[in-house]
Structure 1
Amino acid sequence: MPMKLFTAHEPKLARTRDERSAEKIVFVKDGFAWLALFIPLLWLLWHRLWLGLLIYVLAVCAAVGLVYFGKLPPNIQNLLFVLPNVWLLLEGNDLRRRKLARRGLVQTAAVMGRSREEAEQRFFAAWVRASGSQSAPSGPAPAYSLPRGEEPNVLGVFPRPGGAS
């Protein structure tokens, strides 16, 4: 499963790093909003993007008006109905980020993860470590680690320092 990028948004005035402020952090996936392409009205309503919903409805109404009164070729008519959905596909998650910024949340981090849950775990592990707490969970174990004192040997073709191979 490929890694995805998520942005973390925290309240501007958060002074402490405790459980209450952690609950207010919002994660937004970077990239395409696929559900917005296929079910745009529900997606906009779910995320409470009222301005985006208004723009989307006006764009669809304009497309209906152009098709009804414009006598356009069928290819252009189809394109007019698909364009608002493609706009949401491309800009949907950025609309969410702008809404969060208007609500006073600032983007504080970008975190990679295979899922949102994994990105949240990585973010909060670093967040707790940065707050100076000793109860910070250690992150995932590395896939491979060298024994103490041993230097890496890239692909086994480069000699190690000091002549040992």
Structure 2
Amino acid sequence: MPVYTVHAPVADGTEPRSVTDRFAFIRDGFHFWAFVFGPLWLAWHRLWLALIGYIAVWVGLAVALAQLHVGGGTRFAAMLLFALLMGFEAASLWRWTVSRHKWRQLDVVVADDEETAERRFFDRWAPDRQGLSDDQSGIDRGAPPPTRDIPGQTFSRPPPHRDIIGLFPQPGGSH
């Protein structure tokens, strides 16, 4: 299932909820149209610096292959590999461009398509839904993981203390 990263422009002292129509949902993975039409895909998504880099690398590769007098099959294979690289790295170039414009990543959403990703993100992010779901999105990513104290669940309690095997001291004994 595809993974989407959600990006929002940094608001100038305003609440980020006021710019929700500008949120970007960037699908991770292979982008077929970036593979087939690399420069047009970059221009369509307004990734101008990446487009300049793409053209520079493409021209440099073509000149280097011509100077090395390689055959037509090798040139085709090299350009195909370059296009394949573009297809795989298109989302990374898009995220890099967005981060250069001082956008921030809000969340990561797993969904079948962009519309479902938007729905899942805004369902979690809506203020009236805070704390109503079993979602972990409100957890500080730098904090330790939450404990699972759910009554009746076997995984929520640690296993009982038994003898420890190896070079470790007995539980409850002196160290």
Equivalent-residue separation in structure 2 for 1:94 and 1:64 (angstroms): 24
Bigger mean CA offset, 45-54 vs 69-78:
69-78
Q: Which of residues 57, 72, 82 in structure 2 aligns to 1:59?
A: 57
Q: Which of residues 9, 12, 22 in structure 1 aligns to 2:10?
A: 12
Partner of 2:38: 40
State the Cα deviation string for residues 52-76 of structure 1 (Å, max 9, x = none): 1112111221232133332113332
Q: Check the 8 A contact 1:28/1:97 in 2, yes or no.
A: yes
**CA apart distance, 1:15:** 4.5
Aligned-partner residue type, residue 16 of structure 1: E
**CA apart distance, 1:114:** 1.0
**CA apart distance, 1:110:** 0.5
Q: Which of residues 19, 22, 25 in structure 1 aligns to 2:20?
A: 22
Q: Check the 8 A contact 2:8/2:16 in 1, yes or no.
A: no
Q: Check the 8 A contact 2:3/2:110 in 1, yes or no.
A: yes
What secondary structure is seen at the aligned counterpart in 2 of 1:23? helix
Name the Cα RMSD after superposition: 2.9
Partner of 1:144: none
Bigger mean CA offset, 93-102 vs 60-69:
60-69
Q: Which of residues 90, 104, 107 in structure 2 aligns to 1:106?
A: 104
Equivalent-residue separation in structure 2 for 1:74 and 1:11 (angstroms): 46
Aligned-partner residue type, residue 97 of structure 2: K
Q: Structure 1 stretches (4+) deviating beyond 2 angstroms?
A: 11-18, 66-69, 73-76
What secondary structure is seen at the aligned counterpart in 2 of 1:28? strand
Match runs of 1:66-105 below 5 Å: 66-105=64-103
Percent same amino acid at aligned positions?
27
Partner of 1:31: 29
Please report the TM-score for the alignment, with normalisation by the length of structure 1: 0.71
Partner of 2:124: 126
**CA apart distance, 1:10:** 1.4
Q: Check the 8 A contact 1:4/1:112 in 2, yes or no.
A: yes
**Matched pairs, number:** 137
